[in-house]
């Protein structure tokens, strides 16, 4: 048996509301169930109304596999249906390189270097989408 | 889990908590063998895809990991084993976008791109073993000059 909880895991990811933006900071490795719950929580937050943007900070995430990538893409798609934009911020370079090789380009997801840039992007209008790193 | 801090290990894959242990083990083992950050991330991601397939499609199983040494090159071999339904047509399963469930169908093909060596041993009813190898630097050549 493993003793003690997994060292860098989060059982629940808090969803903060800053004006008309939902701000989520994902830290460490996630249970699949935690990622799914986060999707539900963000969906409920956007559905509650008055939300125009969702920022998901993944600077503390070391691995994005196809499961988590799909959850992020579904969050963006679900939010878009309710007229909210989703920006993923702080993706580590190693994660970005790996996602490209994995073949996942996260269609529909906008990205920003950090949370501040993500918030600026949301207040401006249009921004970049996930691009192959050079 | 006694072996989780060493490079060699035999870990169960029966729950999503086990997936996290697999990722952590592969991360630590790769770091210990001198893999760079990008190489670690690629291998951990590949392991996560394959372990999830073992869990979701294979009905659970295990991962064995073993260090490899060839000259100065150091590598890690990971083997994902289950006794599930097997893969009737592995070539097709490797095709990007092919899924028998609700996935993206990028796991197997993507994992193959993220490692240096990749093999599937599977037949209907016999279960599935996927084995991958990655090297800390470039994969060793059959003949090396010194
Ligand atoms: N261990 C396994 N046992 C039985 N079938 C498998 C196994 N691994 C993969 N497969 C089959 O190969 C297909 C492709 O696998 P792959 O990982 O590429 O996609 P997926 O798991 O369906 O979706 P994704 O990984 O993108 O979420 C699966 O849908 C499944 O039919
Ligand atoms: Mg898969």
| Residue closest to B128 by CA, chosen among B108, B110, B101 | B108
User: What is the tens place of the pLDDT at every residue in B52-97?
Assistant: 999 999 999 999 999 999 888 899 999 999 999 999 999 999 999 9
For chain B, give the mean pLDDT: 91
Binned at pLDDT 50, 70 and 90, residue A132 comes out as low
**All structural domains of chain B with their residue ranges:** 8-135
- Distance in angstroms (rounded) separating the CA atoms of residues A100 and B133: 20
The chain A residues in contact with chain B (CB within 8 A) are: 1-2, 6-9, 29, 31-33, 62-67, 69-70, 92-95, 97-98, 101-104
For chain A, give the mean pLDDT: 87
Q: Percentage of chain B with pLDDT > 70?
A: 90
What token pair was written down for A76?
């963006």
Residue A1 lies in a domain: no
Residue A60 lies in a domain: yes
Give the pLDDT of residue A124: 82
Binned at pLDDT 50, 70 and 90, residue A108 comes out as confident
Residue B132 confidence (pLDDT) above 60: yes
Q: What is the pTM of this model?
A: 0.89
DSSP letter at A57 equals: E
Ligand 1 pocket, mutate which of B55, B87, B109, B126 (most atoms under 8 A from CB): B87
Distance from CA of B40 to the nearest CA of A (A): 9
Residues, beta carbon < 5 Å, ion ligand 2: B 53, 107
- CATH at residue A100: 3.30.750.24
Which CATH class for the B8-135 domain?
A: alpha beta
Residue A3 lies in a domain: no
Residue A100 lies in a domain: yes
CA distances from A79 to A42, A47, A104, B6 (A): 8, 8, 20, 43
Residue A102 confidence (pLDDT) above 80: yes
Give the pLDDT of residue A5: 47
Q: For chain A, what is the domain count?
A: 1
Q: How many beta carbons lie within 10 A of that of residue B43, not counting itself?
A: 30
Residue A87 lies in a domain: yes
Q: How many beta carbons lie within 10 A of that of residue A4, not counting itself?
A: 5
Residue A128 lies in a domain: no
Give the pLDDT of residue A107: 74
**What residues make up the domain containing A22?**
15-122
User: What is the tens place of the pLDDT at every residue in A35-62?
Assistant: 999 999 999 999 999 999 999 999 999 9
Atom 30 in ligand 1: residue holding the nearest Cα: B100
Residue A63 lies in a domain: yes
Residue A32 lies in a domain: yes
ipTM (interface pTM): 0.88
- Distance in angstroms (rounded) separating the CA atoms of residues B138 and B136: 7
């Amino acid at each position: 048996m493993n003793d003690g909880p997994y060292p860098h895991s989060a059982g629940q990811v808090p969803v903060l509301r800053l004006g008309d933006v939902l701000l989520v900071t994902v830290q460490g490795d996630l249970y699949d169930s935690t990622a799914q719950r986060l999707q539900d929580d963000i969906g409920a937050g956007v559905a509650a109304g008055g939300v125009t943007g969702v920022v998901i900070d993944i600077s503390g995430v070391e691995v994005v596999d196809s499961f988590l990538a799909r959850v992020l893409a579904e969050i963006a798609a679900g939010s878009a249906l309710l007229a909210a934009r989703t920006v993923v911020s702080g993706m580590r370079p190693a994660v970005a390189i790996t996602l490209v090789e994995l073949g996942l380009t996260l269609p529909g997801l906008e990205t920003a270097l950090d949370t501040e840039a993500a918030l600026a992007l949301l207040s401006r209008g249009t921004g970049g989408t996930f691009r192959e790193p050079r | 889990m006694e072996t989780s801090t060493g490079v060699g290990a035999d870990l169960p894959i029966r729950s999503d908590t086990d997936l996290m242990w697999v990722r952590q083990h592969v991360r630590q083992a790769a770091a210990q063998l001198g893999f760079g950050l990008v190489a670690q991330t690629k291998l951990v991601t590949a392991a996560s895809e394959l372990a999830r397939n073992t869990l979701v499609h294979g009905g659970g199983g295990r991962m064995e990991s073993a260090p490899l040494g060839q000259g100065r090159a150091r590598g890690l071999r990971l083997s994902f084993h289950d006794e599930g339904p097997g893969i009737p047509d592995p070539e097709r399963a490797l095709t990007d976008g092919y899924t028998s469930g609700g996935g993206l169908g990028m796991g197997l093909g993507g994992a193959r791109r993220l490692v240096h060596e990749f093999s599937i041993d599977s037949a209907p009813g016999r279960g599935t073993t996927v084995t991958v190898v990655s090297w800390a630097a470039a994969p060793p050549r059959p003949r090396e000059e010194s």
